[in-house]
Structure 1
Amino acid sequence: MTDDSNPLLQPSALPYGLPDFATIRAEHYLPAFETAFARHLTEISRITMVRSMPTFENTIEALERSGELLDRVAHTFYTVTSADATTEVQDIDEKLAPLMAAHQDAITLDSALYWRVQQVHAQLDRLELDDEQRYLVERHHREMTLAGAGLDDEHKARLTALNQQLSTLTNTFERNLLNDTNDLAVVFDSADQLAGLSSGELSAARRAAADRDIDGYLIALPLFTGHPYLAQLCDRTSRRRILDASRARGSRDNAHDNRPVLREIVRLRAERAALLGFSSHAAYVTADETAGTPDAVEDMLRALAAPSARNARAEQAELQSIVDETEADPFTVEAHDWAFYTEKVRTARYDIDTSALRPWFEAERVLQDGVFFAATRLYGVTFSERHDLVAYHPGARVFEVRNADGSELGLYVLDLYTRDSKRGGAWMNPIVSQSRLRATSPVVVNNLNVPLPGDGEPTLLTLDEVTTLFHEFGHALHGLFAEVTYPHFAGTNVFRDFVEFPSQVNEMWILWPEVLDNYARHHVSGEPLDPAVVERLRATETFDQGHATSEYLAAAWLDQAWHRIGVDVEIADVAEFEAAALADIGLDNPVVPTRYSSTYFAHVFSGGYSAGYYSYIWSEVLDADTVEWFRDNGGLTRENGDRFRARLLGVGGSKDPLEAYHDFRGRSADIAPLLKRRGLEA
């Protein structure tokens, strides 16, 4: 294969630089990476071999110009590995992981490059730089220092080896999880076992089984511990089977066992942290986040855990009362019963059955008349589907986004449905990142895992799935709106414990009256959701928050517990470690399992949230405070949207996030709105 025949090595001729996925085949990837690695190293050597003294232009800006081909190839490949990972693509990813880690270290740990960055940083106060340029110098210096660029050659060699081992292990963890999740999908022989599901949900289960040549109904597992169907399934045995399968992922004695994998990941991360001068991986990670230290994270988690566990116990007692009063043969409520009886309590207290709302949440209407509508009203942007543009999978749709004045902004790709080749959960990632320096515009993708119904059946979303779509679209807006010069700051390239803030804010529009009334229409009759139901729905906003907060905090604490371990500590049994950690923080209620157990905790063992899963609740402090600001200032208006876009979304990572928040809000965030939202006031 020649470079000229590899579409990954040629600039895309498609609008906005969308990769020409129709021409890209699996065999193109490794040769493209090899060429991109070599070109990037050449570009770096041209920086380090300059004989004149380091300047912003010949060092920092040159560094930002380098690696453009590698970024293009990597964005394309990793979009596919997460959303359409065939066995061939998985094999390439496994081979590539240590190569990518080694290449990143070759740049980050380059002594000559680090010396030049240090020299520019040392004269920062004497240089005539704008705010973005100044912050860029600070970030490159900080990140290279924390990465180990100042270590001696012996320690750098060990660090490089650790990084390569970790890249391979995290790849293995994700592959094991994908395969075990597919293997553990639950097969039911008859529709009677799935009583409580709608005709559309049964149709989706039949289709999923048929896709695997199975006779019956197949229920695929989401990434988190629970399952949306647990709230509807009448058969207690069926509920137990689904939850047991979910919790077994990655913890069975088979080829997909993630227990030894995660223990080794934890050990190597601890060793790397010690090599870099930190007491733990958590200390290493939080040193460059807004939290600052693991102690700050622990203080917040412990402060919230006690009232959350208290509220969950009260909710559990109420569920038990329902069971005792309504069941002919009462039983003790277990974890697989929680969602089902919570809906009974919700119905009794608020006259709301959230599963019965699905006919009002038809997916296309939610997207067009809810998600897009709110964005248009708030920011003036418009969305038009580009049927002429092909994404990486036939199920992924491409939309062109334009500003209020009609000018081009970027592309938005939506990949809604689940499939065996897609990892679990929901996420946003860039396919092309915006940068004035590189003259690129943003192309972003949202992935969800909604079951695909049978032919002719409508896609009716649960309220949780509606929330997920609005949430992930908040990330997409961040990626679309960030307008920066340097690619280092593009889109969502912000601190991990800040990145969830814009997406959480976007959830506020789900129940905003003019938005809800526009999209929540019955898919057959077109009738709007009854205003009385809407009011009762709003009244439930703190309902079941003890459970929701407890399961999240339990996962956040597990993440911290694993990553606060020192280099000399060995963990023999994963289950025992989990139990001890949850008991330590008072979240060891077996009826409220952690949202993710360690063996399927992809966020921290194969994603970018290691020692950072706390960031959702950390960001929610800012989110809840921002929602209060919108409500106090007129809500869904262009004036409010333009302020939020200009001062927060638009700056990307080019400004300290807490400074950007202060600039938007006029003060630092107050935690009181968060406590009220989650029912955790004293």
Structure 2
Amino acid sequence: MSNDNPLLSPSALPYGLPDYSAIRPEHYLPAFRAAFEEHSAEVSRITRVRSMPTFENTLVPLEESGRLLGDVARTFYTVSSADATEEIQAIEEELAPLMSAHQDSIQLDAQLYWRIKTIHDQLDELELEPEQRYLVERHYREMTHAGAALDDAAKERLTALNQRLSTRTTAFEKNLLADTNDLAVVFETADELDGLTDGELSAAAQAAADRGLEGRWVVTLTLFTGHPYLSSLTRRDSRKRILDASRSRGSRGNAHDNREVLLEIVRLRAERAELLGYDTHAAYITSDETAGSPAAVHDLLRRLAAPAAANAVREQRALQSLIDAEPEPFALEAHDWAFYTEKVRAAEYDLDRAALRPWFEAEGVLQDGVFHAASELYGITFRERADIRAYHPDARVFEIHNPDGSELGLFILDLYTRDTKRGGAWMNAIVSQSRLRGTRPIVVNNLNVPKPAAGSPTLLTLDEVTTLFHEFGHALHGLFATVTYPHFAGTNVFRDFVEFPSQVNEMWIYWPQILDQYARHVDTGEPLPADVVEKLHASEAFNQGFATSEYLAASWLDQAWHSLTREQAGLDIDVAEFEASALREIGLDNPAVPTRYSSTYFAHVFSGGYSAGYYSYIWSEVLDADTVEWFRENGGLTRDNGDRFRERLLGVGGSKDPLEAYRDFRGRDADIRPLLERRGLVA
């Protein structure tokens, strides 16, 4: 190992956290090349073994292999998503085809596949522990799914497709980040932002100053179509400017236009699916998820779409009635929805959600809400480690201990938005737990909260509070998974199951003993008034027609693109027309309710890991809503309940079929009824 490259030597920091202070951009590519070479040599040693394949001489060394590559990759991709400078972006572009080629060289290795298939064929004759048996099943299934059984010519074409896809998805993300930054909306006067709080104005002024625009105000864009400020800005022209900017990303005919990029991605995925024996990319993806087929996904989405669209129309009429009563009425448009929704909410529930922000100060929400709920439920404790530096000055490090005082892992929170961070919110691991390797987890939560000027408190919206709880649910999954083999570590579960633990963790937001702890006024320390809490509960199903419709529209759009055959994907497609046609087909083409993501900025499916899988959120919510009901039936926030959920679901990671794990926890399969009631979709 080189002493000159910190990525090629074990880190001396706690839990193996990479020493980001010593890592420079020029270290990454040489480290990747060394890691590729080492991993290939490790696999080659497995395939050169002359004795017949066994679990011990094949699966165990396979699980031990690739450790250096995993370490380097997690270190780099943490930075490339959260602090993607131009230099880092250039490295990622060069790296993408190299990583794809290496992954294919392992997944498509004929000798390795033969060894694993041989073991798989005699599974019933082997005396393996359940985790070992499932490891054989998953490696065999995943290599088969990846194309390991293809002939050499097909594998060569498959490798070329995968490499091209890796460059195109990287280009999509790069274009989106650049266009999102370019389209941040500049306002000349504070009057144009009437309705924002002092903290929000401070954040907009700071964003302007960071861009050298002192004396102005800049509103940066969120990843999804809407924007939190649309609910409070009083000026229609300002709301329209923000929403128009958001919806135009990636489709302006400039250097960052994503239309041709996404069309090529769709074509490449359709061709790859056909090569692998599937009619469509959606069929390929869902075949190895809990859904099993596109038909199952489409059935669920259609079942929910009609009542959701009907609810949205009823909500729209209520908003229009309010506008019609104004001195100068107008027809409701998409940029008006959030603003007038808050007016209706205030009228029907006497509730102004924007006015609640002083009760949601970020540090209080984190320490007395998110962390407190986890401590009450699981008995874990948190200690900030200011002595440990992460990858960016804004990223804070916390050490977590189990109830018995033993070390659990590190949690890193990166709360604030910046121009080098991709949009949205996510969890990722820097180190994954494994008994085989003797490692404990390090997990990261990233959000995109506007950063106020120094000295001003960070006040969260209720949506941002929800996101913080949600992402920490992913973090708990990554921290609690306790497995032997790294293949099953953390959140390495089926895509349409991975959102389940994070959505369950949202339930504690309104739980009385948690809400009373964290929802304290930033100036007075007074708790959120009891009548406001009652109104929050009463209004939980409010605006669900809109929320469900915009989400389902994006899910259907994802399915529509990825349900194209190779022949269909090769036709001349107009992106806007295709999108409009897909939304008409499922009845979610209401202009006042735009899809949560339009195609040209749909990062989840064109540069992330959710292609043909954005349905996962609602699919997982069936389990989530049923689980929330179980907690309520069994006493709620108790250590016994937390221990059961940790042991039977979070703790198994990917080492067990997820639906089997759910049945072990719940005692039966999930019931869809709680979800329908939550979403207001029951007649």
Q: Distance in 2 between matches of 1:6 and 1:661?
A: 44
Task: State the Cα deviation string for residues 481-506 of structure 1 (Å, max 9, x = none).
Answer: 00000000000000000000000000
2:666 is aligned with 1:660: no
SS in structure 2 at match of 1:21:
coil
Q: Distance in 1 between matches of 2:345 and 2:381?
A: 37
2:512 is aligned with 1:513: yes
2:86 is aligned with 1:95: no
| Aligned twin of 1:413 | 412
Q: Distance in 2 between matches of 1:594 and 1:51?
A: 56
2:541 is aligned with 1:542: yes
Runs of 4+, deviation exceeding 2 Å? none
Structure 1 segment 115-126 matched on structure 2, within 5 A:
115-126=114-125
| Aligned twin of 2:474 | 475
| Aligned twin of 1:10 | 9
Q: Distance in 1 between matches of 2:577 and 2:543?
A: 28
Q: Distance in 2 between matches of 1:601 and 1:432?
A: 28
Q: Distance in 1 between matches of 2:257 and 2:246?
A: 14
Q: Distance in 2 between matches of 1:563 and 1:214?
A: 42
Task: State the Cα deviation string for residues 163-207 of structure 1 (Å, max 9, x = none).
Answer: 000000000000000000000000000000000000110000000
| Aligned twin of 1:648 | 649
Q: Distance in 2 between matches of 1:252 and 1:127?
A: 59
Q: Distance in 1 between matches of 2:335 and 2:290?
A: 37
Which letter maps to 1:624?
A
Q: Distance in 2 between matches of 1:227 and 1:23?
A: 38
Q: Distance in 1 between matches of 2:297 and 2:619?
A: 8
| Aligned twin of 2:682 | 681
SS in structure 1 at match of 2:102:
helix
| Aligned twin of 2:261 | 261
Task: State the Cα deviation string for residues 644-682 of structure 1 (Å, max 9, x = none).
Answer: 000000000000000000000000000000000000002
Q: TM-score, normalised by structure 2?
A: 0.99
Structure 1 segment 621-632 matched on structure 2, within 5 A:
621-632=622-633
Which letter maps to 1:192?
D
RMSD: 0.5
| Aligned twin of 2:609 | 608
2:139 is aligned with 1:131: no
Q: Distance in 1 between matches of 2:563 and 2:203?
A: 42
Which letter maps to 1:298?
H
Of 644-653 and 206-215, deviating more is 206-215
Check the 8 A contact 1:263/1:571 in 2, yes or no: no
Task: State the Cα deviation string for residues 454-500 of structure 1 (Å, max 9, x = none).
Answer: 11100000000000000000000000000000000000000000000
| Aligned twin of 1:432 | 431
Structure 1 segment 382-421 matched on structure 2, within 5 A:
382-421=381-420
Structure 1 segment 32-431 matched on structure 2, within 5 A:
32-215=31-214, 216-325=216-325, 327-431=326-430
Which letter maps to 1:644?
F
Q: Distance in 1 between matches of 2:173 and 2:163?
A: 16
Note the C-alpha offset of 1:571. Answer: 4.2
Task: State the Cα deviation string for residues 237-292 of structure 1 (Å, max 9, x = none).
Answer: 00000000000000011100000000000000000000000000000000000000
Which letter maps to 2:256?
H
Q: Distance in 1 between matches of 2:295 and 2:262?
A: 23
Note the C-alpha offset of 1:328. Answer: 1.3
Which letter maps to 2:265?
I
Check the 8 A contact 1:551/1:595 in 2, yes or no: yes
Q: Distance in 2 between matches of 1:478 and 1:539?
A: 30
Which letter maps to 1:410?
G
Which letter maps to 2:563?
R
Note the C-alpha offset of 1:104. Answer: 0.1
Task: State the Cα deviation string for residues 116-174 of structure 1 (Å, max 9, x = none).
Answer: 00011011111111000000000000000010000000000000000000000000000
Q: TM-score, normalised by structure 1?
A: 0.99
Distance 1:144 1:334, change over 3 A: same
Check the 8 A contact 1:80/1:392 in 2, yes or no: yes
Task: State the Cα deviation string for residues 531-570 of structure 1 (Å, max 9, x = none).
Answer: 0100010011100000000000000000000000000112
Q: Distance in 2 between matches of 1:516 and 1:552?
A: 27
Q: Distance in 1 between matches of 2:57 and 2:101?
A: 25
Check the 8 A contact 1:472/1:503 in 2, yes or no: yes
Which letter maps to 2:453?
G
Q: Distance in 1 between matches of 2:638 and 2:573?
A: 56
Q: Distance in 1 between matches of 2:454 and 2:47?
A: 59
Q: Distance in 2 between matches of 1:281 and 1:350?
A: 45
Q: Distance in 1 between matches of 2:196 and 2:47?
A: 63
| Aligned twin of 1:576 | 577
Q: Distance in 1 between matches of 2:230 and 2:169?
A: 30
Structure 1 segment 447-526 matched on structure 2, within 5 A:
447-526=446-525
Task: State the Cα deviation string for residues 386-437 of structure 1 (Å, max 9, x = none).
Answer: 0110000000000000001110000000000000000000000000000000
Q: Distance in 2 between matches of 1:599 and 1:382?
A: 42
Q: Distance in 2 between matches of 1:632 and 1:322?
A: 40
Which letter maps to 1:69?
L
Which letter maps to 1:295?
A
Note the C-alpha offset of 1:572. Answer: 2.0
| Aligned twin of 1:637 | 638
Which letter maps to 1:103?
H
Check the 8 A contact 1:382/1:403 in 2, yes or no: yes
Aligned residue pairs: how many?
Answer: 680
SS in structure 1 at match of 2:21:
helix
Q: Distance in 2 between matches of 1:310 and 1:112?
A: 56
Q: Distance in 1 between matches of 2:513 and 2:247?
A: 40
Check the 8 A contact 1:621/1:669 in 2, yes or no: yes
Q: Distance in 2 between matches of 1:158 and 1:551?
A: 38
Q: Distance in 1 between matches of 2:573 and 2:133?
A: 47
Q: Distance in 2 between matches of 1:536 and 1:460?
A: 21
SS in structure 1 at match of 2:221:
coil
Which letter maps to 2:399?
E
Check the 8 A contact 1:571/1:577 in 2, yes or no: no
Q: Distance in 2 between matches of 1:198 and 1:356?
A: 9
Q: Distance in 2 between matches of 1:45 and 1:428?
A: 33
Check the 8 A contact 1:417/1:449 in 2, yes or no: yes
Check the 8 A contact 1:282/1:294 in 2, yes or no: yes
Which letter maps to 2:264?
E
Which letter maps to 1:211?
D
SS in structure 1 at match of 2:656:
coil
Check the 8 A contact 1:428/1:444 in 2, yes or no: yes
Check the 8 A contact 1:550/1:587 in 2, yes or no: yes
Q: Distance in 2 between matches of 1:176 and 1:455?
A: 31
Q: Which runs of 5+ in 2 are unaligned?
A: none
Q: Which runs of 5+ in 1 are unaligned?
A: none
SS in structure 1 at match of 2:396:
strand
Q: Distance in 2 between matches of 1:571 and 1:118?
A: 42
Q: Distance in 2 between matches of 1:554 and 1:200?
A: 33
Q: Distance in 1 between matches of 2:349 and 2:539?
A: 7
Task: State the Cα deviation string for residues 282-310 of structure 1 (Å, max 9, x = none).
Answer: 00000000000000000000000000000
SS in structure 2 at match of 1:509:
helix
